[in-house]
A and B are shown apart, each in its own frame.
Chain A
C-alpha cells in the first residue's frame, strides 16, 4: 500500500477535479470535486491518477461475481454510479450463515479484512437496502420498512441530482415527507421515476435485478481449508464435483448442455470456465474431460493468484435425460459418439471451430451454403435443398479473386483464358453462361458486406445489392484438365468493361 496521500481525478468540463480519495488524502483536508491544482498546492505529496471508469467497472464486476460464493444471485446496480453498488439476493441463503445479521457482519468483516471500506444493509427490497446501506449502514430492516425509511433524506431513493434539488427546494427533504402526497402532482412535477423509486423502496412494486451469472439450479461445490493453486488439482476437483453433480442430475432425471466451473480465489477474484455439449449429458468423465481440454486452451491465462479456496461446478440449460443402458447389452450409437467428439473438439478449439454445412434457400452462390457450429445445430430448411444438376464447384473461395481475362467473346461468351495468381491459363473447353441476378424481391434484407480481405489490395467483387448486379457464371477447363468457376460481374455496356472473378474450383 502507498504511504502517501492518493487520489483519482477526472476531467470535468475542462477542469481536473478529484473524484476519489484515500484516508490520508482526506486527513490532509482534501475533498472530492476539489480542483486538482488546489489539491496539489494544499498537499504537495499527493499522488494522483486519472480515473478509468471502464477498468473500474470491469474490476468491480469481477469483484461482484466473486460474491456468488455467498449467494448465487449477484448483481451490480448501475443506475446511480457505474460501479460500487453490489446487490445479493439472499432469499433462502442467510440461514447457512446463521441469520441475516450474522451474514451481513461476516461478509462486511471479510471485505474490511481485505482493506476495503464497505457498508451494507439487509432489507426486503433492493431500494430499501440501498437506502440503508448508504445512510444507515449495518441495519437489518425486517419489517415496517416505511417507518425505517421515513427519516432518511430523499437522496436515499436513488434519484438523479435534478430531482433531489427540486424536492429540496420544495421542502421535501425526507422520504417520510413524500408519504401521502398527491401522486399525480408529484408525477407531473418530477416525472414517473420518482414515484416508481418510492414504490420500489417500499416494496409495492417489484424491483428486478439482473443477475450477473446464469441462474443455476444444480451445482456441486467444495470449500478448501487451505487454498489450492495447481491446475491439475483444480481439474481433479472438477472431476470429483462432476461425479457428485452427475448423481444429482441423475436423481432428477436431467442432463445439461452447459457446465460452468467457478473458481473463487482468496484475493476476491473469480475465474469461470465454461464448456458446452452438443446434447444433454451427465457423464462425469466426459464433463471432466471437456474441462481439461478447456484448460489446455487457457495456456498462460490461468492464474491462481494466492490460491483458490472454493470451487463450484454448475449445470445450466438442463433438459430431461432418461437413464441409458451402459456396459452389457449397450447399443452402439454412432451419433452419440459423434456428439461427444464435437464436444471435445469445441472445448479445446473453441465452439466456432467445428462446423457443419447447411443449405440456405437462396440461389446466390456464396449465401446458398452456410456454416453452423456442430454443437449448436438448428433444423434444416426443407425448401433449401439445392438442384444437384446445375454444376457447382467443390470448393468455393471465401472471397472471389479478380482475374485478367484473355479473349472473352462479347457479349456473353466464355473467356478464352485467364491470368490468376500470376499464372496464365488457356481454356479450350467452356460452358455457360449461367446468369444469376440479385434477389429483387428481397432488396431490403440484404446484410452489408460480410467478408473483407485484410488489406485493401485488389478490387473486390460486389455483393448482390439492390438488384443492380448480375453475374454470368462459366465453367471452364484448362489444358491440363483443371475446372474453374468464373463469373463476369455485370454486362458489357458502352464504355464499361465488366470485371471478371474466379469464384470456385471443381475437383
Chain B
C-alpha cells in the first residue's frame, strides 16, 4: 500500500520536474487567460499580469509621461518578490529634461520604495535595447521600465518579438513606455493606453488635487476573464495599489491614503520654523 503511494508521489514529482524543464516560451498566452486567484471584484489583481511579459504602455502625449511611468511602477510593484527585488528604469540621457528624472522622495510618496528602483541612463536606442536584454537575463530583476521616445529603428517588430521571447524565458516583465497616437506592429502581449483623469478631491478639501486617477484602456491582449481588448477602466492609485474609481466611491474614504495633497499642511506644521 505504502509503495503504491510512494510510486504515485514519485510520478507526480517527475511530472513537475518535466514541466519545469520544458521552456515555457509561448506558454505565457495561456497564463494570461487562466489567471489564478480570479476574484471577480478584486481590482488589485485585475490589472495584475503574470511575470515574464512584454507590455506596452502608450500615452497620447509626452506631457503624460509621468502618468504612464506611475502606472508602470504600479504594475511593476506587484511583481516584486524577495528573490526578484529590483526594478530597472531605462532612459536616454539627453531625454531626461524632456520627461524628467525619477525623484526618490516622490517615489516614496507614491508608495514605491526608491531602494528598489535602479536607473540606467543610456546614450542611444541600441544601448537601450542591449540593456533591456541584459536586465531580463538577470534573475534578480522583477521588471524593466523603458522609456522610448519616437520610434527608433532598432526597436522594430523583430526586436519586440525577441524581447518578448527573452522576457518569457527569463521571467522578468518589460514595460515599454511609448508616446503618440500611432501604433506600430509589436509582439507585446498586452498594450495599454493611459490618460490622466480629473481626480477625486481628498476629504475635507474640494479644491485640492486628490490621488492620481487614470483612464486605462487595454488595447491589445486579454487579461483574465473580465479584462478584454477594448475594455476601459478608471482606476485610482492608493496606498493599497490600484482601486477602481467606481468601487472606491462605494467604499468610502477608509483606504484613501497615501496622503491626499490637502493633508500636506498638517505635515508642514512641525516644519514651520524652516519656512520663510
Which A residues have a C-beta under 8 Å from some C-beta of B? 332, 334-335, 337-338, 340-342, 344-345, 348-349, 352-359, 363, 365, 368-369, 371, 374, 386-399, 421, 423, 428-432, 434-437, 453, 470, 475-477, 479-483, 504-507
Contact = CB atoms under 8 A, between A and B. Distances in A.
Contacts of B198: 428, 477, 479-481
Contacts of A332: 83, 139
B240 interface: no
A369 B103 CA distance: 7
B109 A390 contact: yes
B212 A483 contact: yes
A476 B138 CA distance: 40
B148 to A, nearest CB: 16
Interface string B101-129: 11111111110001101111111000100
A349 B67 CA distance: 28
Given A390-B259, A434-B268, A507-B71, 18 more contacts: A334-B139, A335-B85, A338-B140, A348-B134, A352-B121, A354-B118, A354-B121, A356-B115, A357-B102, A389-B109, A390-B267, A394-B66, A395-B66, A476-B209, A482-B63, A483-B212, A506-B212, A507-B73
Nearest to B103: A396
Given A431-B207, A435-B275, A357 B86 contact: no
Interface stretch (B4-12, B42-50, B92-100): B92-100
Interface residues of B, number: 73
A341 B114 contact: no
Given A390-B264, A431-B205, A506-B212, A395 B276 contact: no
B99 A395 contact: yes
Contacts of B106: 392-396, 504, 506
A389 B263 contact: yes
B261 A334 contact: no
Contacts of A432: 264
B51 interface: no
A437 B271 CA distance: 11
Interface in B148-198: 195-198
Nearest to A354: B120
Interface of B: 63-67, 69-71, 73, 82-86, 96-97, 99-110, 114-115, 117-123, 127, 130-131, 134-135, 138-141, 195-199, 201, 205, 207-209, 212-213, 237, 258-259, 261-268, 271, 274-276
29 contacts: A334-B84, A337-B138, A338-B140, A345-B134, A348-B127, A348-B130, A355-B118, A356-B119, A363-B271, A363-B274, A368-B104, A386-B104, A388-B109, A390-B268, A394-B107, A394-B110, A395-B103, A396-B101, A396-B102, A423-B63, A428-B198, A431-B265, A436-B275, A470-B276, A477-B209, A481-B195, A482-B63, A506-B70, A506-B209
